[in-house]
């Protein structure tokens, strides 16, 4: 089966999954969450004020019509307007995605390259002081809270030393660069710990396979075996880990963007939660689901490019 036909078929199968996801999201926000007008107007709102706002927001329609509106917005990517800012949500997503990607893409690329390089280094010098040191450092980096990294970085490197901007953002290249350096460094530090341990584990699993023993018996150097054979065969779990992280890159990092004042999708989502802005929260949740479905398909396609033994069915 060609990649084109496989992609079309998988995306077609994803439609009922997406419908089911939107139904769950609709039930959570429109049925379980209760009447949002009480949250928006406050505890002293009158019944008339609540009824007027409910009519203005379209919450007095039958639930079936409200769900069909949610379903239509999912496939058209037109999510209506924000309750708190009255801006078109689609426009907010476009603007926020730019800010999120300028931070997340360079941080993700550098963190991935460093993690794979450190994991290969640990596997190459396994059971040595360097290997143990990298494992201990990774565990320590994983154990520290993201808030600790953010507050320490802002207080020491931005406030005390003045090397970086404490917070803020400017659109356009290269104006945003001074504002993303420190949060990108924190993003990298947060990613390296778990990634190094994961990549090291899968690389060491490959080291004990039969083909590695055969290569050693033929007299190949450890460096050649590790970088030419082991890394190639370990690419499937590496690709899985990398590609499944991409939707979170587009959606941004909630705490990092919020503390550093970066107007990305993570910051928009956090503000929507604080303001009980249900349309924005629903839009971000639906967008997240769509991205994960799409990138799962991309992951399967990349498998066939890395390992010719895998066939698309």
Predicted confidence at residue 235, as pLDDT, reads: 83
Predicted confidence at residue 1, as pLDDT, reads: 60
Average per-residue pLDDT for the chain: 83
Tell me the whole-structure pTM to 2 decimals: 0.81
Q: What average pLDDT does the segment 165-179 reach?
A: 88
Predicted confidence at residue 107, as pLDDT, reads: 92
Q: Tell me the CA distances in angstroms from 179 to 18, 20, 109, 255, one per residue in order.
A: 36, 40, 18, 15
Give 32's pLDDT tier (boundaries 50, 70, 90).
low
User: What CATH architecture is 99-276?
Assistant: Orthogonal Bundle (1.10)
Block residue for tokens 């970086």: 164
Helix (H, G, I), strand (E, B), or coil: what is residue 84? coil
Dist. CA 186–CA 184, nearest whole Å = 5
Per-domain residue ranges for the chain? 3-76, 99-276
Q: What is the pLDDT of residues 65-114, one digit of tens each?
A: 888 888 888 888 888 888 888 889 989 998 888 989 999 899 999 999 99
Q: What is the pLDDT of residues 215-245, one digit of tens each?
A: 888 888 777 887 777 887 888 888 888 888 8
């Amino acid at each position: 089966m060609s990649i084109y036909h496989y992609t079309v078929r998988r995306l077609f199968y994803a439609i009922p999954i997406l419908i089911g996801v939107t139904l769950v999201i609709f039930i959570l926000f429109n049925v379980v969450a209760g009447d949002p007008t009480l949250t928006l107007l406050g505890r002293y709102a009158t019944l008339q004020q609540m009824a007027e706002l409910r009519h203005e927001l379209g919450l007095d329609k039958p639930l079936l019509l409200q769900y069909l509106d949610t379903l239509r917005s999912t496939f058209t990517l037109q999510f209506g307007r924000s309750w708190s800012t009255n801006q078109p949500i689609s426009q907010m997503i476009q603007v926020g995605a730019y800010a999120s990607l300028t931070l997340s893409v360079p941080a993700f690329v550098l963190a991935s390259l460093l993690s794979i390089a450190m994991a290969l280094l640990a596997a190459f010098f396994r059971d040595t002081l360097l290997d143990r040191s990298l494992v201990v450092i990774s565990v320590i980096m994983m154990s520290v809270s993201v808030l600790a990294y953010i507050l320490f970085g802002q207080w020491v490197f931005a406030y005390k030393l003045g090397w970086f901007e404490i917070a803020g953002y400017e659109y356009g290249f290269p104006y945003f660069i001074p504002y993303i350096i420190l949060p990108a460094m924190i993003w990298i530090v947060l990613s390296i710990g778990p990634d190094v341990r994961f990549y090291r584990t899968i690389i060491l699993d490959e080291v004990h396979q039969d083909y590695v023993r055969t290569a050693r018996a033929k007299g190949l150097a450890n460096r050649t075996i590790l970088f030419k054979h082991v890394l190639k065969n370990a690419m499937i779990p590496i690709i899985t880990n990398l590609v499944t992280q991409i939707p979170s890159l587009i959606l941004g990092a909630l705490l990092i963007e919020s503390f550093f004042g970066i107007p990305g999708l993570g910051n928009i989502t956090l503000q929507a939660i604080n303001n009980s802005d249900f349309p924005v929260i629903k839009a971000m949740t639906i967008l997240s689901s769509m991205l994960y479905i799409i990138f799962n398909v991309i992951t399967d396609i990349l498998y066939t490019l890395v390992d010719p033994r895998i066939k698309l069915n």
